[in-house]
Amino acid sequence: GPKVLQIPSHQIIDMGQMVTLNCDPVSNHLYFYWYKQILGQQMEFLVNFYNGKVMEKSKLFKDQFSVERPDGSYFTLKIQPTALEDSAVYFCASSRTGWETLYFGSGTRLTVL
């Protein structure tokens, strides 16, 4: 089936540094998403993105977070600066129309020290 690729699979950084998580969505998909899963908790919605703009974001999407997809390249989540509570697995997803199945990547495990 369609594949969403996330790079890297693991990232360890020091608190206060910037980090960029990369997602290569399914090629003909137009809607993109980030979800966050803290260890032992449910996956939670962060943000969705369409036509170059953030459409919706949750309260978890702090001011330090930003997303973009410049010129059809990777869909990225940037955190600047990072905080200890940002440690989690971040899942990227994409869908073709926003009313169909979401396809998820395998996640990037972010550890902030």
Partner 1 sequence: GDQVEQSPSALSLHEGTGSALRCNFTTTMRAVQWFRKNSRGSLINLFYLASGTKENGRLKSAFDSKERYSTLHIRDAQLEDSGTYFCAADNTEGADRLTFGKGTQLIIQP
Q: Which two tokens stand for residue 28?
A: 């003909």
Looking at beta carbons only, is 28 or 42 nearer to partner 1?
42
Q: How far is the CB of 101 from partner 1 (least distance, A)?
A: 4
Q: Pick between residue 74 and residue 103 the one whose CB is nearest to partner 1.
A: 103
CB 107 within 8 A of CB 20: no
Site residues for partner 1 per CB under 8 A: 1, 31, 33, 35, 42-45, 48, 50, 55-56, 58, 89, 91, 95, 98-107
Task: Tell the smallest beta-carbon distance from residue 44 to partner 1 (Å).
Answer: 7
Name the DSSP class of 84. Answer: G
- Distance separating alpha carbons of residues 4 and 92, to the nearest angstrom: 8
CB of 98 to partner 1, least distance (A): 3
Using alpha carbons, select from 30, 50, 42 the residue that is nearest to residue 95: 30
- Bridge partners for 110 per DSSP: 11, 88
Tell me whether residue 81 or residue 98 sits nearer to partner 1 (CB atom).
98
